[in-house]
Amino acid sequence: MADLVFIALAFLAISGAIAMIIYRNPMYSALGILITMLSVAGMFALLNATFLFLVQIIVYAGAIMTLILFILMFLNIKEEDLPKEPNKYKFMVLGAFIMIPLNVLVLKAVSKLPAKDLSISDTNFGDIKPIGLELYNNWFIAFELISILLLIALIGSVVLAKKRKSKLNNKGEQL
């Protein structure tokens, strides 16, 4: 049963990622990545990693996606504002063909790994204490740099939104 749930979640994660790439409308792309994030959260739940499951739901699918959707709504991107992408699908197919040898290499490497017991164990996998110790002892700088990157992205979107509104005169007409 767990294998079927994993396959369904993997299918949803891949479908959401493909939807994020294919859709032209940024709101639909953001919803595609939301589906992917929720599917990854489901995979954490299958691994019995409750802390990672909750963090994925609360932080990524909740807070980060809310921030992204808020910024997209704030920018109010219209269809005519989006760049033209005449060869978008050709490049996606070309990229998929370029990735085939790498995928074959990874699958060969995985198939040569020794067989292990894949049942869920009652260890501390996914608990908060080992994750917190690892995060704040070994990954503290990366953690802080990511928060600064998100702040810069938010400030940049506000600056872009102000530049767009400044092109209008007092009556709302284009200059």
How is residue 76 annotated by DSSP? T
Residue 173 pLDDT > 70, yes or no? no
Mean of pLDDT values over 121-128? 68
Q: What residue type is assigned to position 26 of the chain?
A: P
Instruction: State which H helix or E strand residue 165 sits in.
Output: helix 140-165
Question: In sequence order, what are the residues at sequence separation of 6 or more whose Cβ sits closer than 8 angstroms to the Cβ of residue 15?
Answer: 32, 35
Residue 152 Cα distances to 30, 36, 58, 67, 112, angstroms? 19, 24, 22, 13, 43
Number of CB atoms found within 10 A of residue 158's CB = 13
Rounded CA-CA distance 56/10 in Å is 16
Question: In sequence order, what are the residues at sequence separation of 6 or more whose Cβ sits closer than 8 angstroms to the Cβ of residue 36?
Answer: 12, 13, 16, 17, 20
DSSP 78-126: -GGGSPP-TTHHHHHHHHHHHHHHHHHHHHHHHHTSPP---SPP-SSTT
Comparing 146 with 50, the larger pLDDT belongs to: 146
Mean of pLDDT values over 97-109? 94
pLDDT per position as a tens digit, 32-75 = 999 999 999 999 988 888 888 888 999 888 888 888 888 888 87
pTM exceeds 0.75 for this model: no
Give me the count of residues in the chain. 175
Query: Residue 82: which pLDDT band, with cuts at 50, 70 and 90?
Result: confident
How is residue 143 annotated by DSSP? H
Residue 108 pLDDT > 80, yes or no? yes
User: What tokens appear for 114 in the block?
Assistant: 């020794």
